[in-house]
Chains A and B, each alone.
Chain A
Amino acid sequence: MMRRLLSGNEAIALGAYHAGVTVATAYPGTPSTEILENLARMPDIYVEWSTNEKVALEVAMGASYGGVRALAAMKHVGLNVAADPFFAASVTGIRGGLVVVSCDDPGMHSSQNEQDNRHFALFAKVPMLEPSDSQEAYSLMEWAFRISEEFDTPLLFRSTTRISHCKTVVEVEQNPLVERRPPGFIRDPRKFVMVPSNARPRHPLMEERIRKLSSYVETFPFNQIVLGDRSLGIISAGAAYQYAREVFGHASFLKLVTAYPLPENLIRHFAAQVKRVVVVEELDPFIEDHLRAMGIEVIGKDLVPITGELDPEILQERAIQIGLLPQPQKPSSPPKIGRDLPLRPPLLCPGCPHTAVSFALRTLRFYRIPIQEGVPSQEPASGQQVRHRAIATSDIGCYTLAVYPPLEALDTCACMGASIGQAHGLEKAGIMDKIVSIIGDSTFLHGGITGLIDIVYNRGRGTVIILDNNTTAMTGHQGHPGTGISARGEKVRKVILEDLVRGIGVRDVNVVSAFDLNLIEDTIKRCVETDEPSVIIVRGPCPLQDRERGRPLMVDIEKCNKCLKCLRIGCSAISKVGDEIKVDTFACIGDRCSVCLQVCKEQAITVGE
C-alpha cells in the first residue's frame, strides 16, 4: 500500500480502474470532469467523452449488458439528462456492474441549481453509496460494482464538490491485480426488451431488490458508529460528516455510507444509545424525513439550512443559536472585514471569441416586427418607432459570463441546449421583438440539435448563433464531437457544424470570424429580419487553448477622448490606470483579436511592432 494525496475524483477514477472497470463514459461537468480525465490516462480500458450524459449512460448500459463493468460520470444536472436510461437500467437490471457517478454541487459553485440527487436513488429504486472522503471514494468502488452485480441493479455513487475536489490522504494498492470481466452478450429479450408484457414482471423484482438491499446495508462495513458523549447523537454522511466531526468533537456519531436504502435497524440501535438525535445533511432533509417516517424524533433542518453549501462555520453558529453547543466565552467568529472590497467576478478572458458577438448583441438596436392587421399595437401610441435590443436566449458555457457587467448581453440561461427552444417559444407566444439564441459548439451538439430541428419543422424564424471555439472550454478544454480530438487525444472524424445544420434544413447558414465585429453585426442584422430560420456560426479559437499572440496593441493617449467605450467590451486586458487607458500587453493577445481597436471611434488604438 502507498499513501497518496488524491482528490475525490482522482480516487473514484483509480478505484474504478482497480475494480476492473472496462468502459467509462462521461460528458464534462463541474465537479465531475476529472473522473473521466483521470481514467483517460489509464491503459487497457475504453473511455470516451460522450455527446451528452444520456448517450454516456446508454453506452455504459450497453457495455454492462455486454458483461463488463461500466461507469458513467456526470454532474447533478447531468443525471437529469441521463434520467431516461437511468430509470430504464433500473427496470432491466444489468450484467456487468454499472455505476453511475453523480457529483452534486451544493452552493452552486459552477451550476444553474443545487438539486439534491439522493432523491434519484429513491425515485429509481437503486442503491446509493456516499463517500465522506477520498479514501472511501477509492475503497468503495469495488463494493459499488459488486453490489450492482449481486442485486442486478445500476448503483448511484454520490459525490459533492467538496468530496470531488478536496484532496485527502488515500492508502492505495500499489500494484493490484486488476481483473476485468470477459465480454459476452447472453440473449434475454424478457430482461432487455421492455415492452409492457416484459416490463410488468420486472417491477415486483425491483421492489424485492430494495427489500433485500435494506437487509444487506445493515451490516455494510463502511457505516460506522463512533460513541462519545451520549447526550448528542449525530447522524451524517458525505462532506457534512466531516464538518459535524469538526464542530461537535465529543458527541456520538453514526456515519452513513449507504445513503439508500438506509439501514433502519442500525439507526434504531444508535438512536437508542443517545439522548438526542441530530441529522447533519446538506440540502434536502433526505435522511431526516426517513427517520421521521420511522418514528424517530430528530433535529435536522432546524439546525442545518436547506439552501446553500454547509461548512463548519455555519454549522457551529447554528448549533450555538439553537442551544446544541454552549455560547463561547469570546465570540467564535472574528469581525467582518471593515471595508467593501471590490468583487472579482469571473469574466471572459482577454482575446475571448465570445466578446465581440456579446458586445454586438448588447449594442445592436432593432425595430420590432411591423404591426400586422388586427394584432394589437406593440409600439407607443405617439407613432414614433422605438428601437430595441434583441432578446438573447443563451445557454451554458463561458459565454454565459456575458450576463455580467459591462456586457449584460443575455436574457435567459436555463439548461443545456435550452436557448434554441426558448427562443422558438418566445416567438410562438407572440413576442414581437427580435429574438436570437446563442449556444456554444459543445452545448449545441449536446442538446441544441433537436431544438434547431424543432424550429425548422415547426416553421420558426429563429436566428441561432453557434459560438464555435472548437472546444468545451469552461470545464477545462475537453474535446467533443466537433473538435475531432477524442478523450485520449487521438485525431478522429469530426462533425462539420455547417453541414449538420444544412442537413437539418436550414438554408441561411453563415460562418463569420469571431473577431470581425462589423461582419458579426451585419450578419445578425440581416438574419433577424428574415422569416427563414438562420444559423450564424461565429468561429474563433479560445485564447487559453491556442496561446499564439499577435502583434501588440497600444493606446495613443493623444487621440483618446476618454469615452471609455473600449472598457465596455469587458476585456480585462484594457483598463483605466490613473487617468489613462492602458493595454496590459502581458494579458492582451494583440491583433489576433483587436476588438477594442474596432470599437474605438477615434482610432486611438493601434497595432505596434
Chain B
Amino acid sequence: MILASDALAEIAMKSGYDVKKSDSLGMSQRGGSVVSHLRIGERVFSPLVKKGSADFLLAFERLEGARWADYLSPGGVAIVNDHAMPPPSTIGAKGRSNYPSSEEVHSIICEYTDEVYFVPGTGIAKDLGNPQILNVLLVGFLSLFLDIEEKSYIDDLSHRVPPKFLELNLIAFARGREEAQRIRRAQDR
C-alpha cells in the first residue's frame, strides 16, 4: 500500500503540485491497520486528511474500507477492494464472527458518500499471476478519476518497479483502469 501512495504522491509532485503524505509505520504494521494520508494541492500545510474531507478513499480490504469511511467528503469517491482479511479479534468466545459483510460495508460507506465502487482486486491480481500487484491495479482504477495523464503513471512505474516486474505491473495498471471504466459505465445505467 505504501508503494501505491508513494507512486501517487510522486506522480502528483511531478505534475507540478505540492504534496504531503503521512504513513503510519512501526508497530501498526504487525497485522495492524496501515494507513496513508495523501494531500495534493497548490500549497499543502497539514499532511493529515481531516474527517469528512477526503476526495478519495482507496481501501485495500473490506473492513478497512468501512473503518475509514468517515474521512470521506459528501462528494468523495470510495474504492474498496472486496477482499476480507478478518483480524483474529473477530472470533468471539463462541467463535461467532462479527466481521462485516460486503452489504454492511456498503451501507456504512453510503452514510458518507454516494459514489462507492467495490473492486474484485485480489481476484484479478491472482488471475494476472501475482496477488502483490493489487496495489498497482488499484492505482490504475483510481487513475481514471484523477486529472493526471496516463503517461505520468507509466513513467513513474518504469522508474519505481524492478525491470523484470515492469511488464506485469503495466498490465495490472491498465487492467485496473479498464475495470474502473467498466464499473463506472455499469453504475451509470
* Interface residues in chain A, defined as those with a beta carbon under 8 Å from any beta carbon in chain B: 3, 5, 30-31, 109-110, 133, 162, 165-169, 239, 242-243, 245-246, 311-313, 316, 332-339, 341-349, 398, 401, 405-406, 474-475, 562, 564, 567, 570, 572, 575-576
Query: In the complex, which residue of chain B has the Cβ closest to the Cβ of A132?
Result: B45
Supposing A333-B51, A474-B27 touch, asked if A344 and B19 sit within 8 A by C-beta, the answer is no
A567 to B89, CA, bound (A): 11
Instruction: Please report the total number of B residues contacting A with Cβ < 8 Å.
Output: 50
Residues of B within 8 A of A109 (CB): 24, 26-28
CB-nearest residue of chain B to A244 = B45
Q: Is the CB of B19 within 8 A of A169?
A: yes
CB distance from B74 to the nearest CB of A (A): 8
Contact A344:B31 (CB < 8 A) given known A110-B26, A333-B51, A339-B108: yes
Q: Which residue of B lies closest to A584 (CB)?
A: B85
Residues of B within 8 A of A (CB): 6, 9-10, 13, 18-33, 44-48, 50-52, 63-64, 66-67, 69-70, 72, 86-91, 95, 97-100, 104, 108, 111-112
Q: List 8 A-B contacts (CB under 8 A).
A: A109-B26, A110-B25, A169-B20, A239-B47, A316-B50, A342-B98, A345-B32, A570-B88
Distance to closest chain B CB from A409 (angstroms): 15
B67 & A337 in contact (Cβ 8 Å cutoff):
yes
What is the bound-complex CA distance between A31 and B100, given in angstroms?
33
**How many whole Å from B39's CB to the nearest CB in chain A?**
10
Take A338-B108, A341-B63 as given contacts and tell me if A166 and B47 are in contact as well, using a CB distance cutoff of 8 Å.
yes
Given known pairs A242-B45, A337-B69, A337-B70, the reply for A342 and B63 (CB within 8 Å) is: yes
A341 touching B97 by the CB < 8 A rule? no
Whole-angstrom CA separation of A83 from B47 in the bound complex: 32
* Contact of A242 with B46 at beta-carbon distance under 8 Å, contacts A109-B28, A342-B87, A564-B95 already known: yes
Give the nearest-CB partner of B16 in chain A.
A3
Asked whether A336 lies within 8 Å of B70 as measured between CB atoms, the reply is: yes
Q: Which of B6, B50, B91, B112 has the most CB of A within 10 A?
A: B50
B50's partner among A5, A312, A342 (CB-CB below 8 A) is A312
CB contacts (< 8 Å) of A239 on chain B: these are 47
Of all A-B residue pairs in the complex, the 9 with the closest CB atoms, nearest first, are A110-B26, A346-B30, A30-B26, A334-B52, A246-B46, A245-B45, A346-B32, A347-B31, A166-B47
Whether A406 pairs with B30 at a CB distance below 8 angstroms is no
Query: What CA separation (Å) do A169 and B14 show in the bound complex?
Result: 10
- Besides A168-B47, A341-B66, 5 other CB < 8 A contacts? A165-B22, A311-B46, A344-B64, A475-B26, A562-B95
Interface of A, secondary structure class, is loop
Given contacts A312-B48, A337-B67, A475-B26, contact A567 B91 (CB under 8 A): yes
Residue from the list B13, B32, B112 in contact with A344, Cβ < 8 A = B32
In contact, B22 and A576 (Cβ under 8 angstroms): no
Per the bound structure, the CA–CA distance linking A562 and B70 in Å amounts to: 38
A166 touches B95 (CB 8 A): no
Closest residue on chain A to residue B27 by CB atoms: A110
Kindly state the separation between the CA atoms of A30 and B28 in the bound complex, as whole angstroms: 11
Residues on B with beta carbons closer than 8 Å to the beta carbon of A243? 45-46, 48
CA distance A334 to B89 in the complex (A): 27
A240-B47 Cα distance, complex, nearest whole Å: 11
* Contact (Cβ within 8 A) A3 B13: yes
Given contacts A166-B20, A312-B50, A344-B89, contact A335 B70 (CB under 8 A): yes
- Among B25, B67, B69, find the residue whose CB has the most chain A CB atoms closer than 10 A: B25
Shortest CB-to-CB span from A489 to chain B, Å, is: 19
